[in-house]
Homo-oligomer: A and B are copies of this chain.
């Protein structure tokens, strides 16, 4: 920004901070939820469920910041896009937080049962999802779509892993019906992770819209 640093600029910077804070917390929850699964760590899973409340609170704060900015500052063009994008990002981050909580709940269901199989694809999906989330938040704060490079490839990789996990678990269950109660939570976790990646790529699309003022959502533009 070229003009003098004003209270308004500070409000915009504070909105950016809030979104980064929410993004960092949500990323932490994804990490912890998968750790709780890998280590059958009930306490960690419960911590995730508890911490999701803070995510919800941050969403409300960000909403309020955005609505106040719009109402009091009558932002135009780029600033208005930044603010409305901020609102959308907060919505997606809140949903990601919910999904991390869902994973933690599945992880609690599994904590008392013997492992079905070594976990390989699910932790990999989680790593990819976290990488996508980091990239999109980085792109948002820097207003730089170059940071989004690779995001859609990673999303496709996650989708592929989800299908792989799905097929593998179905065949395990068909072979041994007693595996069903342990397989279903894993199947759901792979879907939760895929949806986390979906929300993260929603954010990527919103950032492109913000930066380039063009819509790439719903196949409205090139995605690679």
Task: List, in ascending order, chain B residues with CB within 8 A of A70's CB.
Answer: 70, 80, 84
Minimum C-beta distance from A94 to chain B (A): 9
Complex CA gap A77/B71 in Å reads: 7
Tell me the nearest residue of chain B to A53, going by C-beta.
B218
Task: List, in ascending order, chain B residues with CB within 8 A of A181's CB.
Answer: 170, 174
Query: By the criterion CB–CB under 8 Å, are B174 and A218 in contact?
Result: no
Query: By the criterion CB–CB under 8 Å, are A217 and B180 in contact?
Result: no
Minimum C-beta distance from A4 to chain B (A): 23
Query: By the criterion CB–CB under 8 Å, are B88 and A67 in contact?
Result: no
Tell me the nearest residue of chain B to A198, going by C-beta.
B98
Those of A14-34 within 8 Å (CB) of chain B:
none
Residue A177 is within 8 A (CB to CB) of chain B in the complex: yes
Q: Known interface pairs A173-B173, A180-B180. Does A56 touch B88 (Cβ–Cβ under 8 Å)?
A: no
Tell me the nearest residue of chain B to A180, going by C-beta.
B173
Complex CA gap A220/B57 in Å reads: 9
Query: By the criterion CB–CB under 8 Å, are B177 and A176 in contact?
Result: yes
Query: By the criterion CB–CB under 8 Å, are A178 and B174 in contact?
Result: yes
Those of A67-96 within 8 Å (CB) of chain B:
67, 70-71, 74, 76-77, 80-81, 84, 87-88, 91
Residue A215 is within 8 A (CB to CB) of chain B in the complex: yes
Complex CA gap A217/B71 in Å reads: 21
Task: List, in ascending order, chain B residues with CB within 8 A of A217's CB.
Answer: 56, 59-60
Minimum C-beta distance from A116 to chain B (A): 14
Complex CA gap A217/B58 in Å reads: 12
Which of A81, A84, A88 counts the most B-chain CB atoms under 10 A from its CB? A84
Minimum C-beta distance from A189 to chain B (A): 13
Complex CA gap A29/B95 in Å reads: 23
Q: Which 6 A-B pairs have the closest CB atoms?
A: A177-B177, A56-B218, A173-B180, A74-B74, A174-B180, A174-B177
